[in-house]
Amino acid sequence: MSAEVELVDVLKVFGEVVAVDSVSFEVYKNEFFSLLGPSGCGKTTTLRMIAGLEEPTKGIIKLRGKVVNDVPPYKRRIGMVFQHLALFPHMNVYENICFGLKMQKFPESEFKSRVYKILEVMDMPPEVFANRNVKQLSGGQQQRVAMARALVTEPTVLLLDEPLGPLDLKIRQRMQIELKRIQRTVGTTFIYVTHDQGEALTMSDRIAVMNKGRVEQIGGAREIYERPKTKFVAGFIGETNFIEGFCNSDGYFDVKNSPCKIMVDAPSEFVGKPALLSVRPEKIFVAKKLKNMDNIFDGTIEDCIYVGSFVTLRLRLSGDVDLKAQVQVSESSFADFKVGDKVQVGWPRENATIVPLE
């Protein structure tokens, strides 16, 4: 499969600060690809280099197989949607969307058909919204207009820099589903920047997790979540428990400074080396009595917090190992768990992942 966008050892330095450090990845046609990471990790700078708004200090950027390091932004056939939408407040919806068509000198005879078609894709009936002032729109509607303005020129790639950031939670969640629907409808390659793991997991075909200017892992949502390759990825994507110790050749993980031994599926490269065992709180089972499970330990409930759909338990296992578990709420489960209760705690060996000790 040929890449729509390709970065090869791209470096960006501002003064003495390395913002992007030898980043390489490919984005394929019609893919929803996300750059995910904390503030300052280099994801927006990477996006701006793809757009041509920043020049790489070193490395190669390709669009549709051609090197574009020296190609100006307006010749790259790329659309952009920013966190601050930059809609023109003195223009109505139709005029805002037409702006890109005018700038790229599309025939004026095509304006109405193109604008009306993209408004239909945005689920904004033209007869209702075309003549409406953008100040009269909700935050979610303004977001759709900004996307329509970017997509109406039919760019081969659309770059989105945390566009849902200003929206409140419920609108943001609805827009996540809408963005994926729109992307599938128009068939454009999306590259999406976010620090919100939920957004990335919900919408992306693949995710590149960035940290300190580097890409730590690229993969699908399930792979990134269930099989993280580094401590940072395991800790940044969702919640996890880290247990330090050593992997033995007999299939067990010896917990550091504890007699506790945990059955694991450890890759051969970890055997005999210090490492971290990562197990997600929702992958842990807690009951008065467990059976038919690879790992079962006696423990004590040290805290019990009701969070609506689940109960968060803080546990101390025999051998002085502390864990957090999330147990789904049933009619009686919350009443079943009390601080100080003796319980059994366990998980199947495949529910844990080994990552390098950093």
Q: What is the pLDDT of residue 166?
A: 67
295-343 pLDDT, tens digit each: 999 999 999 988 877 889 999 998 789 999 998 876 445 557 889 999 9
Can you tell me the mean pLDDT for 262-281? 91
Q: Which amino acid is at 143?
A: Q
Cβ contact 324:239 at 8 Å: yes
| pLDDT digits 0-9 by tens, 148-159 | 898 898 899 999
Could you tell me whether strands 206-211 and 32-36 are parallel, antiparallel, or unpaired per DSSP bridges? parallel
Kindly tell me if the per-residue pLDDT of 181 is higher than 80.
yes
Mean pLDDT for the stretch of residues 179-189: 89
Percent of the chain at pLDDT > 70 equals: 98
**Least confident range of 43-52, 161-170, 267-276:** 161-170
- Is the predicted pLDDT of residue 42 greater than 50, yes or no? yes
What's the whole-number mean pLDDT along residues 9-21?
A: 97
Region 275-295: mean pLDDT is 93
CA atoms within 13 A on the CB side of 346: 17
pTM beyond 0.85:
yes
Q: How confident is the prediction for the chain on average, in pLDDT?
A: 91
**Rounded-to-integer distance, Cα 205 and Cα 66, Å:** 24
> Which CATH code fits 239-356?
2.40.50.100
Q: Which of 5-9, 77-81, 83-87, 201-205 has the highest mean pLDDT?
A: 5-9
Residue 294 reports pLDDT greater than 60: yes
Pairing of strands 189-194, 157-161: parallel
Q: Quote the pLDDT of residue 328.
A: 82
pLDDT tops 60 at residue 247: yes
DSSP string, 16-77: TEEEEEEEEEEEETT-EEEEE--TTSSHHHHHHHHHTSS--SEEEEEETTEE-TTS-GGGS-
Q: What are the boundaries of each domain within the chain?
A: 3-231, 239-356
Grade residue 177 by pLDDT with cuts at 50, 70 and 90.
confident
- Give, in words, the CATH class of 3-231: alpha beta
User: What does the pLDDT average to over 202-220?
Assistant: 97
Q: Say if CB 42 and CB 10 are below 8 A apart.
A: no
Strand ranges across the sheet with 66-67 = 17-28, 3-14, 58-63, 66-67
User: Which range scores top for mean pLDDT: 89-103, 112-126, 207-221, 239-253?
Assistant: 207-221
Higher pLDDT among residues 129 and 328, named by residue: 129
